[in-house]
Structure 1
């Protein structure tokens, strides 16, 4: 066998080197692609988790808090809704994430079996009954404006409470049927509101109010207001009015709920003004 010339040896050496470089390039390219795919998968997972977490902070299963009309067999969304996860996430995140990621988040949410969602209390999508538009966002006002409105609403709420029966359980012989039910407001609820009114009025007037006292009052107003609002939403006003018209009309209950929920929101805004650092 003839010995290779120097030129042939050099040619083979260059060919082997080129093959090694090509192999290294393909290996590096494969590595870059794998890294990009892993990063894409991680970003996708993070995005889905972020969207699902955000959604669950804003919305909940309607059976948690939303009144149910047994006659019609459906929920009564008195606080806004029902909401579709696809529409909400699309509106909120279409400029941030891929449509496929949004659809995956929706699929994960709907895997719970829920397709119509209710807003959580206090979320961005939560709507109070009979809320004045000018009072829809208490945080837009100054501390002094919020305090002034709280005091005015306390006076208004006290006036409305004076028109309500002290104990609905004693509503004469004309008791409402089971599917209408009594307003969720008894002497204990009345006393709870009266204490909250006194505490709130005293604290708002102080130079340095107590955060725990304000928070306790906020909880009381929101608890009673929400209970009454849910009761109203679950019933037909005409049926309720017909049942308890001898004592007080359902619209009066709605006004009390609206004032109580409005004060709760104002107190939450005041707490943020005073104690957020």
Structure 2
């Protein structure tokens, strides 16, 4: 059930006989009480207007039993009602599509329902629509303090008022639209990123998957050859910076867990060795390659050729691990849900953070491939 209020109320002042008009968008309905009765709960709704000349004006609706309008009552004190609103309870239309993304179409296709909505109800619908399509950039948007903050690689930043106006200004009252903006921005956040349901995010990931499919077979060795003969056209772009931030975050997470090479050829960690642990020359080569890649990526002009060569050595280390369990590099990588051409994620998934270090190494290889593809404009 929803409360509808239509028309204009006209009230005559008891002394001056002046007739005042009260408009339907001035009424804000709230639940003010109710009791448990024989056929269930009774709910009392009330709208209150504090008028400069008429004083306290109240409109009330009783819902009892659930889903049934019991009575309505208008109280204007000593004044006289010339004509009242048409107001009460009515059933909300059944919609084929209830997701917030379809709100504009529902409002346009059901004007009587849209008109009947109280401002509070409409504001809630607008706020739900916004949060369905937009999110705090802290959720998934890469951040780089040196570049001035968030890198909106999927689109944005978006502004609540601009987005609501662009979608609803022609069909909702200004007061409701601005009340929704105020509520959305109440926590002090004014720049928003697209949520995974926003078309900009959908397009971003579709493009990433398409690029991954096309470039998966490009090896690090081939990328090293390309980097040696062609300029790194993608260095400095927003996409490259975002991918670089991701790689550096993954390197940091990996280095925290990578065993330390032992000074006498032993295994450099304190827990028992497993069959497919990196150790000895493989561990030293992997650690040195990771350090070299990190050094390049923190510089102002990283060398794609060096990164590709060192990434190739890391892939060899992964191949050594894979061989210990009698599988291929590709099969080993896919066991962690990654391929060596996978697009760089915008954040390190919690599942990866909880995985053993070789899983983080697999993820790093995929992100390095993605960074190289961006840098070389492939």
What TM-score results when the alignment is normalised by the length of structure 1?
0.46
- Structure showing the higher strand proportion among its residues: 2
What TM-score results when the alignment is normalised by the length of structure 2?
0.35
- Structure showing the higher helix proportion among its residues: 1
Quick one: higher RCO (CA 8 Å, sep 6+), 1 or 2? 1
